[in-house]
Amino acid sequence: MSSSEDTIDAKPAGGVRARVRAELTAEIKASARRQLAVEGASALSLRAIARELGMASSAIYRYFASRDELLTALIIDAYIDVADQIDAADAACERSDRRGRFVAIAHALRSWAVTNPNEYALIYGTPVPGYAAPSDTVDPAARVPTALLTVLVESEIAEDRAPDASHLGEALAELLAFTDHTVPAAVMARAVEAWAELFGLISLELFGHFHKSVTDPEAFFAHAASSIAERLLP
Amino acid sequence: MSSSEDTIDAKPAGGVRARVRAELTAEIKASARRQLAVEGASALSLRAIARELGMASSAIYRYFASRDELLTALIIDAYIDVADQIDAADAACERSDRRGRFVAIAHALRSWAVTNPNEYALIYGTPVPGYAAPSDTVDPAARVPTALLTVLVESEIAEDRAPDASHLGEALAELLAFTDHTVPAAVMARAVEAWAELFGLISLELFGHFHKSVTDPEAFFAHAASSIAERLLP
DNA sequence: TGTACATCAGTGAACGCGCGTTCACTGATGTAC
DNA sequence: TGTACATCAGTGAACGCGCGTTCACTGATGTAC
């Protein structure tokens, strides 16, 4: 989190060299993202990026130590990007309108996915074989589920009206601890179900399984999102 | 569907050559499946298969005209395999126990996915870039959703108790026609939601997003499946 | 049952391609005095 | 302000690898008479 270097507006501003370097780093990532769209993550090629940028393939190594490091940067960027969109959508809502916030978050998620299908596939689709996500990706990855959970936590669902959720306490222990046990297990279970349904809807749509069945995925998603909200936040 | 050739037990049985050919075809697919596990679909290599089988790489072309044709065969096999498992689970239930049938289908789906994560990723994960699924895959792919729908159709949900589902008539037109309009739009919407949630749960689990949150995915899936059944089949 | 011919499986070399990564290098930009 | 040195970006050749696919070929297995 040494982002202080980037935001300082002092005279040298990190120097001309640093600025040019940041720009080229961004260009490399942009070119890589364009490649994702055509070939998919596992076909991401440093040489193809260098070709598009008109530079020697070896020059990429001044910016990323390896192909995997580039992939990691793309993954982290994608997580940050969705999370930012989601947080913005949430922030635009009346704080007390929890259903509205949930629906807004859901729509922000789908919008981002439809606009950036390759980034979506990168982080929520089949993991790239042979690639092990480093721990840097964990925090950004947690922001989306956290945003969904926060809506829950801020609503005061003290009562546990769902039946027999005690047996889930163990399966969801980590999550319950994460919210300091302010959310009862049965409610948490419904939240995880909602989370799964949202991602299921988006994945089925983007990966082609709604072809010839759900012909208007956007309309259907809108319906599903509000019906989940009703179920989740009574 | 020329499976009659395979099942005939007459003397020549298609000839020795045909039998050997079928066996080697199966061996090639088995080796390919083993590769999926290690490298993922996009890294599937005909040369690696040939190496494992101890034959010249060019020999594979006596069995599959191209890499894509092999991939298609694997995809179709995977669809058939899940669907067979699901149908068997369904068939083992009391016909009238619709909730039981739904839950059995759900568990068969997850069991298959957990046992064959690579085949699951092949058909329900990120599509292989550059690969266009031929129309032969459509029918096998439809069997899983059809099994889920059939449970619905066979229950007599004549009443449409959910509110304002008329606006979904268009989005779900194909599905409603598929069931000869015996299922009202609102119920169909709940069915698609259920379908999405099942796949969402399985995908989140298999693709690593339950790590450190849902620590007992099997227990949680069991809970979710039965709560979906209650919601879907009141 | 035996012969003559057609079909097919499998071989091994080759074509042309792309890839990630390393390395010694040139020249430009920055830093210290 | 000017010089001397260190740092860094970018180059181009090379290493070693794997890939899908084609092709002319050798033998073995099947078929027709």
Q: Per residue, what are the HEC states of B68-90?
A: HHHHHHHHHHHHHHHHHHHHHHH
Q: Give the pLDDT of residue A182.
A: 86
pLDDT score at A4: 34
CA-based nearest distance B177→chain A, Å: 10
A8 pLDDT above the threshold of 50: no
pLDDT for res B16: 81
Distance D22 C1' – A88 CA (angstroms)? 56
B123, exposed or middle or buried, with CB in 10 Å at 0-12, 13-18, 19+?
buried
Q: Which of A85-89, B58-62, B166-170 has the lowest mean pLDDT?
A: B166-170
Residue B176 has pLDDT above 50, yes or no: yes
pLDDT tens figures, B69-101: 999 999 999 999 999 999 999 999 999 999 999
Specify the pLDDT at position B39.
84
**Separation in Å: D32 C1' and A115 CA:** 65
pLDDT for A156 equals: 63
Give the pLDDT band (50/70/90) at residue A1.
very low
pLDDT of A61: 97
**Comparing C-alpha atoms, which of A194, A222, A232, A219 is closest to residue B196?**
A194
Report chain A's terminal Cα–Cα distance, integer Å.
39
Task: Check CB contact of A168 with chain B, cutoff 8 Å.
Answer: yes
Average pLDDT over residues B50-79: 97
Residue of A nearest to B124 (CA): A207
Q: By percentage, how much of chain A surpasses pLDDT 90?
A: 73
Q: For B198-201, which contacts have Cβ atoms below 8 Å and span 24 or more sequence positions?
A: B198/A200, B198/B106, B198/B109, B198/B110, B198/B225, B198/B228, B199/A200, B199/A203, B199/A204, B199/A209, B199/B124, B200/A195, B200/A196, B200/A197, B200/A198, B200/A199, B200/A200, B200/A201, B200/A203, B201/A193, B201/A196, B201/A200, B201/B110
CA distance A47 to B191: 46
For B:43-82, CB contacts with A below 8 A are 43
Q: Residue A163: pLDDT above 60?
A: no
Which bases on strand C have an atom closer than 7 Å to a protein beta carbon?
8-14, 18-24, 29-31
Q: What pLDDT shows up at residue B164?
A: 59
How large is the average pLDDT for residues A47-75? 97
Contacts of B189 in chain A (CB under 8 A): 220, 223-224, 227
What is the chain A residue with the closest CA to B162? A227
Q: Quick check: B3 pLDDT over 50?
A: no
Residue B12: predicted pLDDT: 40
CA distances from A159 to A163, A177, A185 (A): 11, 18, 11
pLDDT band at B6 (very low <50, low <70, confident <90, very high): very low
Nucleotide nearest to A12 (CA to C1'): C30
Give residues lining strand D (CB < 7 Å): A 17, 20-21, 24, 54-59, 62-63; B 15-17, 44-48, 57-58, 60-61, 66-68
What contacts 24+ positions apart, CB below 8 Å, involve B63-66?
B63/B21, B63/B24, B63/B25, B63/B28, B64/B28
| B100-103 LR contacts (CB < 8 Å, sep 24+) | B101/B151, B102/B148, B102/B151, B102/B194, B102/B225, B102/B228, B102/B229, B102/B232, B102/B233, B103/B225, B103/B226, B103/B229
pTM of the model: 0.92
Q: How confident is the model at residue A12 (pLDDT cuts 50, 70, 90)?
A: very low
Helices and strands: H and E segment counts in chain A: 10, 0
Contact B130 A40 (CB under 8 A): yes
